[in-house]
Amino acid sequence: MQEHRRNGTVDLLRGVGALGVVWFHSSAPGGEYGLAGLTVLFLLFLLYAPDRDQPFGPVLVSRIDRLLRPWIVWSLVLSLAKILQALVGHHPLTEEFALWMLLTGPGLYLWFLPFAFACVAMLLLVERKVDLGTSTAFIIIMALVVVCLPISTWARMGAGGPPMPEWSAAIAPVMIGVGLRSSGESGWRQAGLLAATLASSLLNLMLNGQTPVGVPLGLVATIAALHLRLPDTPTLRWIGWVAMPVYLAHPIFLAMLGQVAPQLDPILLAMLAVVLSAVTGETIRRLGLAARLL
């Protein structure tokens, strides 16, 4: 599904989604609502994945550039930081690195990038075999959406070490993202998707006693953004662009601020991390290094 006319609200939502992730990682009050930001990011990546009629090779290269390149770059940055930390602290490198980092990078939060790439690549392959826009496909997807949250919860409960819990938690956002893509611009289908997601939440509450509010909240925010269109402005485009730098850089600033001011209020901690990450991203852009680092 491609944008015919850029939607400023979607750019704004990308920025809010990144803010939600920072809010959760900073342990600020209402962090469970901040997880809606991760759902939003998954939904937008899948919704705006290239159309099925575009050549697969160039499309895959573009996704590699958008998702895997910054993953590799920031993995190198964090690896260097961990090596320096080990040297300064006089402890072995084995305390800084683990085997699971081969799947996520040296920072667990980076799991999102290779996982999102794998999901988008799989989606593009499936769409070359199956038309997900048909009524039959949509009904099947809705059935899967209804059970996705219980499956996600069961998988997470039985998961081992990282990144299995993170991958398990992503089952529902990914399935709902496929449903949103299958909905196209149909308001009725989007309403059906929302109903299926709420049914999944209720089913998960009945079976597991859990209601991950971030998932339906993220879907509501995304559907609202698709219909409540704001004009395309440079400011909103910048907010959409800076979401990636904020996501990539914020754990570094959270760690630094936690060391310098351990008693800092979590809300202030989150906002400072967002501002510093955004300034870092803008500095990189102005230095002409965005194409290499972000």
Token pair in block for residue 125: 């392959």
What would the pLDDT profile of 159-183 be if each residue is shown by its tens digit? 889 999 999 999 999 999 999 999 9
The Cα–Cα gap between 204 and 219 comes to 17
Determine the Cα–Cα distance for residues 85 and 67; give it in Å rounded to an integer. Answer: 27
Between 5 and 208, name the one with better pLDDT: 208
pLDDT in tens, 194-215: 999 999 999 999 999 988 899 9
Q: What percent of the chain has pLDDT over 90?
A: 78
Range 76-86 burial, b when 16+ CB lie within 10 A, else e: ebbbeebeeeb
* Torsion sign, CA atoms 171, 176, 179, 181: negative
Query: Cβ distance 31 to 24 under 8 Å?
Result: yes
